[in-house]
Amino acid sequence: MMRKLPLIKIKNGTKHYLKITGNQKAQHYILMTTFLMLTITGFPLKFHYYEWAKPVIEFFGGLHVTRTLHRIAGVTMCGLFFYHWYYLIKNIYNYYWGPAKRSGTFSWGELGKFVYYSPMCPRAKDGKDIADFVKFALFISDDRPKHERFHWREKFDYWAVFWGIPVLGITGVFLWFPVWAASFMPGWAINISYIAHSDEAMLAVSVIFIWHMYNAHVNYDKFPASNLFITGYLPENLMKHEYYVEWARINKIVEKDPSFMVDVDAQQEAQKLEDEEKLSIIRDQISFLQESEKNDKGDK
């Protein structure tokens, strides 16, 4: 079963709320590195007529190298895609299918609800949130919409990647093995793959580098950079500000079961006390022995 992570960590006097788990962080790391690698090795080819293209290719050691790196990164990213499917199904099994079957309360309707209310699934609320956000941005309302664990911007990123990887992956394989692809498809399909691969990549890069970077890493509340993708935890002010519903949900759980909250500060404080105690015992001992040695000499 899953390792139990504390939902709230208290550090330096502020509460930090759990946003993404270690496994999810790892997936994000892999996605991030492969994405950057694919961009940096792919863009010089797409935009070969700019002056920066050649130096980039030469920096890596020529077309042979960038081609290989691009394919390795692409295969890794597709591997992550398949792993993610496994991860989703595993979670459905672990958190609903298995327990419900065992307890004999399984119903397809409830499975649907489970999926519908899972954190990344787009819901009617997201539509409302977007409308509310537009109202807020146009000064019509004064409040930002209250979000759950993942708000509509994050869901957009997630589903963009979910759609993008198959498109890029399949067209990428066609371009990688054109002879094989042309053995069962007309020639123009490879031309289309080329257009689709490069245009979809352009969309992905512009959305990730501008929209995702802005929302997740540099927007005003998080400026200059959010370290969420490293720590997995968000400080309370951000959590409350951006994910009010999730903040409330976690608070409720913690109220019920305080074991979900780990007070790092208190632990450190306790550790400090313990350390001081140990040190004072040792120091007392040393000074006592030194004292007694002195007395011995005096006696002589």
Partner 1 sequence: MRIYCFIAVMVFSLFVTCASAQAAVTDGENCMMCHKYPGLTRVNDEGYLRVFYVDSENYAHTVHTKVKCTGCHVDIKEIPHKEMKPVDCSTECHINNAGSEKPFSHKKIVETLKKSIHNPDNPDVRARIVEDFPSCTNCHKNPTYRFDPGDVESVDEARHKERVLQKCAVCHDNNIDYKYFFNHVTHRIKNLAPSEDVVKTCSKCHSREEMATKHKMKNAAATYLDTFHGKAVEFGMPHAPTCIDCHVKKGDSAHNIQSWRNPKSATYEPNRYKTCEDADCHANASQQFGMIRMHSVIDKDIYPIEFYVALGFTILTIGAFYPLLGLMILELIRELFPNFSLRRKKKD
Partner 2 sequence: MSHQHVKVGPKRIIYCLLGIAIMVYCGYIVEILVMHIWHKAPHAEHGEAGLSKEDKLYQDMIAGVSQDGGHGAPVVDINSSHKLYDFHETKRTAIEDTQNLCVSCHGDVPHDKKKEVRAFLNMHAYFMACETCHIKVENTMTTKFVWYEKTTGEQKDKIDLSTYLKDTPYKLLPLAADGGKLYDNDQMVKYVDEFKSQVNNMAPSAKSAAMKVIHRPMTELKNAVNCENCHTPDRAKAYLPFEKIGYPERRANQLVGNEVVGMVNKYKEFYIPNFLKPAEGTESEN
Residues at the contact surface with partner 1, assessed by CB under 8 A: 44-45, 48-49, 53-54, 57-58, 62-64, 133-134, 136-142, 156, 160, 175, 178-179, 182-183, 185-188, 190-192, 195-196, 199-200, 202-203, 206-207, 210-211, 214-215, 219-220
Size of site (CB under 8 A) for partner 2? 13
Q: Could you tell me if 157 and 211 are in contact, meaning their C-beta atoms sit under 8 angstroms apart?
A: yes
Identity at 272, one-letter amino acid code: K
Spatial CB neighbours of 102, under 8 Å, sequence gap ≥ 6: none
Position 206 contacts partner 2 (CB under 8 A): yes
Strands of 233-235's sheet in order across:
233-235, 14-18, 8-11, 261-263
Q: How far is the CB of 44 from partner 1 (least distance, A)?
A: 8
Please state the φ and ψ torsions of residue 106, each to the nearest 5 degrees: -65, 135
Q: How far apart are CA 300 and CA 296, in angstroms?
A: 7
- Give the residue among 176, 170, 158, 180 at the shortest CA–CA distance from 200: 170
Closer Cβ to partner 1, 124 or 179, answer by number? 179
Q: How far apart are CA 34 and CA 144, in angstroms?
A: 34
Q: Could you tell me if 152 and 130 are in contact, meaning their C-beta atoms sit under 8 angstroms apart?
A: yes
Q: How far apart are CA 182 and CA 62, in angstroms?
A: 28
Closer Cβ to partner 2, 244 or 260, answer by number? 244
Q: How far is the CB of 199 from partner 1 (least distance, A)?
A: 4
Q: Which of residues 39-78 bind partner 2 (CB under 8 A)?
A: 47, 49
Q: How far apart are CA 39 and CA 61, in angstroms?
A: 16
Q: How far is the CB of 46 from partner 2 (least distance, A)?
A: 8
- Give the residue among 152, 189, 163 at the shortest CA–CA distance from 174: 189
By a kind-dependent CB cut-off of 5 to 8 A, residue 223 interacts, out of partner 1, partner 2, none, with partner 2
Closer Cβ to partner 2, 108 or 223, answer by number? 223
Q: How far is the CB of 70 from partner 1 (least distance, A)?
A: 12
Q: Which of residues 207-226 bind partner 2 (CB under 8 A)?
A: 210, 214, 220, 223
Per-residue x/- track, 126-145, partner 2 (CB under 8 A) = ----------------xx--
DSSP-derived pairing of the beta strands 261-263 and 8-11: parallel
Closer Cβ to partner 1, 25 or 67, answer by number? 67
As a whole number of angstroms, the longest Cα–Cα distance in the chain is: 108
Spatial CB neighbours of 139, under 8 Å, sequence gap ≥ 6: none
- Give the residue among 165, 167, 190 at the shortest CA–CA distance from 177: 190
Closer Cβ to partner 2, 47 or 116, answer by number? 47
Q: How far is the CB of 162 from partner 1 (least distance, A)?
A: 14
Q: How far is the CB of 229 from partner 2 (least distance, A)?
A: 21
Q: Which stretch binds partner 2 (CB under 8 A): 23-31, 116-124, 199-207, 281-289?
A: 199-207
Neighbours of 55 (CB within 10 A): 9
Q: How far is the CB of 190 from partner 1 (least distance, A)?
A: 5
Closer Cβ to partner 1, 175 or 245, answer by number? 175
Closer Cβ to partner 1, 182 or 289, answer by number? 182
Q: Which residues bind partner 2 (CB under 8 A)?
A: 47, 49, 142-143, 195, 199, 202-203, 206, 210, 214, 220, 223
